[in-house]
Homo-oligomer: A and B are copies of this chain.
Amino acid sequence: MKIDPDNKTDLSAQIAAAIRDAIISGALIVDERLPSEAELSEQFNVSRPTVREALKRLAAQSLIRTQRGAFGGAFVNRLSYPEAYGQQITTSTLLLSMNSVSFDVACEARYALERACAPLSAQRRTPDHLATMRAEIHRQSQPGLSDVAFCASDVTFHRALVDGADNPVLSYQLAGAVEAMQPLMNMITFTARSREKIVGLHSRITDALEAQDADAADAALVDLESYTLHLGRDVMAARVKAHAK
């Protein structure tokens, strides 16, 4: 692990990159302890604060964890699914909110990915998944529910659908797509009528999965996509109109 002496970028960034590469390449393995901050600062010929900044960068990506005390230090972290989900969601949410991604594009991506899970979910969903979906459908039918709570329940419903595919890699990939849509969905005001329609489509999806009917699930998702798109476009149109005033 070496750094380029005549590089103009931050030393802490270079050091972080060197250690990151070592981890990715497998030179440092999971749970292996890195040298102490003092040792690293000697190795790289920089001060301890600089080393610390590098380590914090890696910690922010969940590549390492640190432990205080004797025999503590920085350890290569086994990236867990929940940590990976979290990063995926943060990145996706920011990407969407900062790049003026249109509702249509986000919606298309989300449902394309969800439809990819549907056939697997139809095969493998457990009673647990179905129960979660039914429970969320019930919650979504409650009259007093706020729009934000309705959207949160929607996310839970769709995550159960995705998790039903019983493929953790898929669940991880989809976490971003589903959660990142929530801020966009939150902009929609759900009328009693639109909620009723969505709940109906959710029921169709759940019924299809219960019957292990992949085609029916796909068809229901297509309908849900086109209805969601319709709702989103109404909101956008109203917004443009309000802006034109």
* Chain A contact residues, CB within 8 Å of chain B: 12-13, 16, 20, 23-24, 26, 30, 49, 52-54, 56-61, 63, 78-81, 84, 87-88, 90-99, 101, 105-106, 108-109, 112-113, 115-117, 120, 165, 167-170, 172-173, 176-177
11 more A-B residue pairs beyond the given contacts A63-B94, A108-B167, A112-B117, with a C-beta to C-beta distance below 8 A: A52-B53, A56-B56, A57-B57, A58-B60, A78-B98, A79-B94, A101-B168, A105-B167, A109-B167, A112-B170, A113-B170
Contact check: which of B60, B112, B167, B172 meets A60 at CB < 8 Å? B60
Contact check: which of B87, B94, B168 meets A105 at CB < 8 Å? B168
CB of A80, distance to nearest CB on chain B (Å):
8
- Count copies of this chain in the complex: 2
Q: Are B91 and A87 in contact (CB under 8 A)?
A: yes
Residues of B near A92 (CB, < 8 A) are 84, 172-173
Contact check: which of B60, B78, B94, B115 meets A57 at CB < 8 Å? B60
Residues of B near A84 (CB, < 8 A) are 91-92, 94-95
Complex Cα–Cα for A168 and B220 (A): 25
Q: Which of A26, A88, A112, A120 has the largest number of chain B CB atoms within 10 A?
A: A112
* Listed A/B pairs (21) with beta-carbon separation below 8 Å: A24-B93, A24-B97, A52-B53, A53-B53, A53-B56, A54-B56, A56-B57, A60-B60, A60-B61, A61-B90, A78-B98, A79-B95, A81-B99, A87-B87, A87-B91, A96-B169, A101-B168, A105-B167, A108-B167, A113-B113, A116-B116
CB-nearest residue of chain B to A49: B49
Complex Cα–Cα for A172 and B96 (A): 11
Q: Are B108 and A120 in contact (CB under 8 A)?
A: yes
Contact check: which of B54, B60, B172, B176 meets A16 at CB < 8 Å? B60
Complex Cα–Cα for A111 and B88 (A): 20
Contact check: which of B16, B52, B116 meets A113 at CB < 8 Å? B116
Residues of B near A96 (CB, < 8 A) are 169
Complex Cα–Cα for A88 and B58 (A): 15
